[in-house]
């Protein structure tokens, strides 16, 4: 089915190309498995010179970068949250130890409990 100047298979070649890190021959052969290596390389070179195909690849690459950036932000936020929780725990333990409310064994139990609760 043609849409915006590209067939569905050519769209899939573009997706494969972005997913595999830019190996055009491999991307072409993933969608057209009966194609020889030389033919796949030649066919991909023709495809990549198409304005429609090149624009689609650029769009997919932008989407991939945005997705990676979003995932990184979520990861950093999760790490910051965990760090804050650990810091709060350390402050609470320090205050109790300084007020002599906890023994070393009790501190050890609290630390082990916190690690268990976090799955570490």
Domain boundary assignment for the chain: 8-118
The pair phi, psi for residue 3, each rounded to 5°, is -150, 125
Indicate if the pLDDT at residue 1 is higher than 60: no
Q: What 3-state DSSP class applies to 10?
A: helix
Task: Return the higher-pLDDT residue of 88 and 53.
Answer: 53
Contact 54, 6 (CB under 8 A): no
- Provide the pLDDT confidence category of residue 3 given band limits of 50, 70 and 90: very low
The HSE-up count of residue 37 (CA atoms within 13 Å, CB side) is: 1
Determine the average pLDDT of the residues in 25-40. 95
Q: What 3-state DSSP class applies to 11?
A: helix
CA dist 70 and 73 (Å) reads 5
Query: Cα-atom radius of gyration of the chain, to the nearest Å?
Result: 27
Indicate if the pLDDT at residue 4 is higher than 80: no
CA dist 35 and 21 (Å) reads 20
Contact 95, 86 (CB under 8 A): no
pTM, 2 dp: 0.57
CA dist 6 and 44 (Å) reads 13
């Amino acid at each position: 089915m043609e849409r915006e100047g590209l067939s569905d298979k050519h769209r899939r070649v573009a997706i494969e190309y972005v997913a595999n890190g830019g190996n055009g021959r491999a991307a072409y052969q993933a969608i057209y498995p009966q194609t020889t290596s030389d033919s796949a390389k030649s066919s991909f070179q023709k495809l990549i010179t198409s304005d429609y195909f090149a624009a689609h690849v650029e769009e997919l690459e932008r989407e991939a970068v945005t997705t990676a950036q979003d995932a990184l932000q979520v990861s950093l936020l999760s790490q910051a949250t965990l760090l804050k929780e650990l810091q709060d725990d350390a402050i609470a333990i320090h205050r109790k130890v300084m007020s002599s409310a906890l023994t070393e064994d009790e501190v050890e139990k609290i630390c082990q409990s916190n690690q268990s609760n976090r799955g570490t």
